[in-house]
Amino acid sequence: MIVQKRTFRIPELLLQSGSVLREVQVGFETYGTLNANGTNAILVCHFFSGTSHCAGRYHEADAEPGYWDAIIGPGKAIDTSKFFVVSSDVLSNVNAKAPNVVTTGPSSINPQTGRVYGSTFPIVTIGDFVTVQKQLVDSLGIKRLHAVCGPSMGALQTLEWCVRFPDFFDRAMPVIGPGLAAEPYLISTLQQWCQPIFDDPDFQNGDYYGTGREPMKGLAQALKLITFTALHQDWANRLFGRRLADDGDPLREMNARFAIDKHLDEAGAQRAQTADANALLRIARANQLFSIEERKNNIRARFLMLPASSDLLMVPAMAQRGAEELRRLGCEVNLHFIEGHGGHLDGLNAIGQCSDAIRRFMEDAPTSARA
């Protein structure tokens, strides 16, 4: 599929913090056709460092398709000949410098001051992301969603939808998610991702725009940590072993590296070229703040939960605890493991192995959503 990034505009957006954003822009993509009743739409929510680009290509020459292209498209598990798929960027998208990201964030101009938001950009939450998505789907003429789904942070958004708009859909598919709240171990991991940015003197308390000094070293280190924690030891053993890089002898030089660290350093530096440090910090805080524990009685959906067996970030036990809580609430929950050795990223790269389970979940008639 060849797809196009479109822009949704909101004149004024009230955030959970009480702050107000004006003249908000949000990038989004759609796939397939909305039916006459406005009831065949599936919302896909993206992961921490992702965008709305979940399937297809912007141009035929693109090297890679969207992250869930294995399951979204004509004849695939989420069949776009039957369903109208919608996906939007979240506020403060990490990839603020990417050419197809137009969404409002800390590097945007504040229309009230005419200057870049920088450190004044407010804290945003998973709930704020869902508020924007609801306004978007309403604007597209969607009367009821067929399903809400997404990987990692997308799973958090899926669960937030379940408690905010429980009567607007009946299927929820959180993939590689943490259960019903960010647990302390995950909260601290997110903070460790952020620390290199805070420690970079070029961060300048978040007001680095226009100074000629961005916290690129800290941002690259943060993205290196994110990449590392999203993978698994078997990935490292298989691809690198104990091989050395080509930049010295670690027996004699402290700055000499092993091959795995050279790879991760280069990956972090490359990702930093299209990312923004302030945006990353706010996305991390949104994940830390996530919890639906006090609102879980609102949930009406039935679930297909897809943890990854080798996940070291949002470990399968988190999803299992969430599934148990949902079952105690009377929800129908089908737990299906993504098998592999790719860690958290198996929720993106190995999602195709769940195609049959996803197809059945999306196409079968509901059986026992909570009354």
- Name the residue type at position 61: A
Nearest CA among 179, 208, 144 for reference residue 325: 179
Read off the DSSP letter of residue 310: T
- Distances in Å between the Cα of 41 and the Cα atoms of 82, 100, 169, 338 are 9, 23, 10, 25
DSSP β-bridge partners for residue 174: 150
Token digits of residue 238? 């298989």
First and final C-alpha spacing in the chain = 38
Label residue 259 exposed, middle or buried (CB < 10 Å: 0-12, 13-18, 19+).
middle
Do 52 and 28 contact (CB within 8 A), yes or no?
A: yes
Nearest CA among 13, 24, 66 for reference residue 44: 66
Look at the alpha carbons of 328, 331, 334, 338 in this order and tell me if their dihedral is positive or negative: negative
Q: How far apart are CA 79 and CA 147, in angstroms?
A: 13
Token digits of residue 269? 């530096």
Nearest CA among 326, 324, 321, 350 for reference residue 337: 350
Q: How far apart are CA 79 and CA 72, in angstroms?
A: 6
Do 83 and 71 contact (CB within 8 A), yes or no?
A: no
DSSP 71-82: TEETTSSEETTT
Do 137 and 43 contact (CB within 8 A), yes or no?
A: yes
Nearest CA among 26, 86, 82, 81 for reference residue 55: 86
Do 340 and 308 contact (CB within 8 A), yes or no?
A: yes
Q: Which residues are catalytic?
A: 152, 311, 344
